[in-house]
Amino acid sequence: MKSHIIGYHTTQFGELWEKSLFDLVEETIDGVLKNTHIELGKIDAIFFGNMLGGILENNLHAGAKIADIFNISIPIFRVEGACASGGMAVHLAQEYIQSGKGKTVLVVGAEKMTDVQPEHITQGLISAASGEEQECGMTFPGLYALMARVYLKKYRYDKSNLAAIAVKNHAHGFLNPTAHFKRKVSIQQVLESSTVADPLGLLDCSPVSDGAASLIVTSDPAFIKKRGGITVLSSQVATDSISLLKRNSLTELKATQIAANKAFSESKIVRKNISLAEVHDCFTIAELFAMEDLGFWKKGEAGKRAINFETLRENNGPLIINTSGGLKASGHPVGATGIKQLGELYLQLTGRAEKRQVKNIKYGLAHNVGGSGGTAVVTILGV
Amino acid sequence: MISPVKVWRRQKTIRDLLGKEGVIITWTKIFTPPPQFKHIAPYVIVYVKLENGQNICAQLVDCFDSISTYEGKRVVVTLRKLRESVSDDVIPYTIACKLL
C-alpha cells in the first residue's frame, strides 16, 4: 500500500529564544502524536531532518538525544541534505515504509538558528557549498545573486520581477498563524530594503528562523481508515554538482527538473492537475527558477507571470503557490522547511487550512532544494 | 582554526590558475559575509570563464573605481590573503581577480 500522511504539527516559526533545538523537537513530536491520537509505541521509526546542529551547537548523535527525551529504543535516523534535509527525511521515511521495514513512521525536522550571530549562521550555511566558493567569501545569498543577475539580463527583467515573489508570499504568510512574518510588504519596500548580495535585498531573502515540524506517515490500513490521510503519490530526489562552477546553465536547476519529471512520471499526474504547490523560495529568484524547472511555466516566462501575481491565492488562478508564506514569510528553519511544505499541503488537501484554504484541490506538489541546487526533492500528494 | 594541511593541499592546485585570463560572466557584492571576511566587506565576487573554459569564482581586488557593472570585463587571476586568521594560523592565500 502507498504511504499516507495522516497527521501534521508545526511549532511557531520565528525567533524562539526560550526554546532549544530539542525543546522544539519535543514540542512538535508531542503535538503530532496528540493531533493524531497515536501513541509513541505505535511508531516504528523516526527520521529527523536537521542541518546545522553539529556545526552551530556541537549537537550530533541526535537520534540518541531524541530516544533520551522520549525514553524509546526504536531506530532514529538523522538526515542531512542542507536546506533539503526535511524533504529528504520524508523521502527516506516513505522508502522505509515501502521497503517493509515498518508501517508507521514519524518524520520530524527542526533547526535552531537564532542563538548565534548572523555571520556564524552565514558561515554554517555556506558549508553546504563547494570549497572554492567558500574560500572566496561566498554566501548563499551571493550564489543566488550570481544566478539572479544572469536571469534578469537574459530575459530583460528587473528587480521588481523578483520583488513580486516576496510580496505574494508575505500576503500568504499574513494568513498563516505559525509564520515567522505575518505582515504584508509592497514592491517598493522590497526594492528599498538594504542590499544583502547585489542584486538581492533583505526582503528578497528568506529569514533565519527557529522552528520544528513533524508528520506521521503510514501504510497501516487501520490508521488510514481511522484517520483518513493524503497519499504520497511520488517522492523523488535528484542531485547535481555542489558548485555553480560546474553547471552548464546559471538560469535553471537541473536537479529540480530531474526530480520533477520523475515524480510526474511515477504519479501519472500531469502538471495542469496540480492546483497547489509549496516551492523552495529561499530567495525570490529561486521561486522563478522553481516555476520553470518544475515545468509549470516556460523558460523565461516566470518573471512576467510573477509580476502579474498569477499564483496569488486571492486571484483564484489555476495554480496557487506557497500558501504557507513560503520560506520567505513562513520562515526557513532549515531542517523543518521540507516537512512544513508537506504539512501545508496536508492541511490544504484535508480542508484544515482555515483562512488560507484553497477550494477544490485534489493534488499538491512540494519542492525542497538543498544548497544552490545540488539536491532537490519533489513530492506529489493526492487526496 | 584553519588546518595548515588543508591549505597546503589546496595551494598545490591553485598555483595552476595564477596568471590565467578570463571574462566576467556574472558578479555580486557581498554585504553580509562569513566572520573571516567581515573586515573587508562589502566585497565583489566575480564568476569568471577562463580562456581554457574553466569557471572560477573569486574576489575582485585592486578595483578602486566605482563601476556600475562588471559583466564582460576581462580579468587576470592573482594571489591574495583575504581570509582573516588568528596569529598561530597559517596564512591562507587564495586566488583573486584583477581587472585588465
Whether residues B58 and A120 touch (CB distance < 8 A) is answered with: no
Cβ contacts below 8 Å, chain A against chain B, sum to 97
8 Å CB contact between B23 and B70: no
Q: Average the pLDDT over B7-31 and give the result.
A: 93
Residues contacting B1, CB < 8 A, separation 6+: B86, B88, B89
8 Å CB contact between B91 and B81: yes
Residue A332 known to be catalytic: yes
Which chain B residues are Cβ-neighbours of A137 within 8 angstroms? 30, 33-34, 36-37, 40, 43, 45, 59, 82-83
Q: State the pLDDT at residue A34.
A: 98
Which whole-number Å values give the CA distances from A269 to A262, A291, A310, A380, in the listed order? 11, 17, 22, 9
All three cell numbers of A118, joined, read 548572523
Burial class from Cβ neighbours inside 10 Å (0-12, 13-18, 19+) for residue A295 reads middle
Two domains, one topology: A4-116+209-230 and A136-205+232-382: yes
Q: Is the pLDDT of residue B1 over 70?
A: no
* pLDDT tens sequence across A26-37: 999 999 999 999
All three cell numbers of A207, joined, read 529569514
The 10 Å Cβ neighbour count of residue A228 is: 12
Whether residues B32 and A147 touch (CB distance < 8 A) is answered with: no
Q: Among A83, A170, A172, A367, which one carries the catalytic annotation?
A: A83
Question: What is the Cα–Cα distance from B69 to B28, expressed in whole angstroms?
Answer: 10
All three cell numbers of A124, joined, read 554554517
- Domain ranges within chain A, ordered by starting residue: 4-116+209-230, 136-205+232-382
**Distance between A43 CA and the closest CA of chain B, angstroms:** 41
Nearest-Cα residue of chain A relative to residue B59? A136
Residues contacting B96, CB < 8 A, separation 6+: A136, B58, B59, B60, B61, B77, B78, B79, B80, B82
Q: What pTM was estimated for this model as a whole? A: 0.97
Tell me the pairing of strands B93-99 and A363-370: unpaired
Q: If we measure between CA atoms, which residue out of B78, B65, B63, B68 comes closest to residue B22?
A: B78
Q: If we measure between CA atoms, which residue out of B58, B37, B96, B86 comes closest to residue A120?
A: B37
Q: What CATH number should be reported for the domain holding residue B22? A: 2.40.50.840
* pLDDT tens sequence across A300-343: 999 999 999 999 999 999 999 999 999 999 999 999 999 999 99
8 Å CB contact between A318 and A274: no
Q: Is the pLDDT of residue B86 over 80?
A: no
Task: For the domain made up of A4-116+209-230, give the CATH fold.
Answer: Peroxisomal Thiolase; Chain A, domain 1 (3.40.47)
Nearest-Cα residue of chain B relative to residue A145? B28
Element (H, E) at A145: helix A140-154
Nearest-Cα residue of chain A relative to residue B61? A136
Whether residues B47 and A245 touch (CB distance < 8 A) is answered with: yes
Question: What is the Cα–Cα distance from A241 to A310, expressed in whole angstroms?
Answer: 32
| B30 interface with A at CB cutoff 8 Å | yes
Q: State the pLDDT at residue B64.
A: 78
Q: Average the pLDDT over B73-100 and give the result.
A: 90
Calculate ∠ Cα A94-A100-A104, nearest 5°.
55
Q: Which residues of chain A carry a pLDDT beneath 50? A: none
**ipTM, two decimals:** 0.96
| A207 interface with B at CB cutoff 8 Å | no
- If one counts the domains in chain B, the total is 1
Element (H, E) at B56: strand B55-60
Q: If we measure between CA atoms, which residue out of A330, A334, A333 comes closest to residue A344?
A: A330
Question: What is the Cα–Cα distance from A131 to A349, expressed in whole angstroms?
Answer: 42
Q: Among A4, A170, A172, A332, which one carries the catalytic annotation?
A: A332
Chosen from A135, A144, A147 to mutate, greatest number of chain B CBs within 10 A: A135
Nearest-Cα residue of chain B relative to residue A119? B34
Which numeric CATH code is attached to A136-205+232-382?
3.40.47.10
| B49 interface with A at CB cutoff 8 Å | no
**Distance between B62 CA and the closest CA of chain A, angstroms:** 15
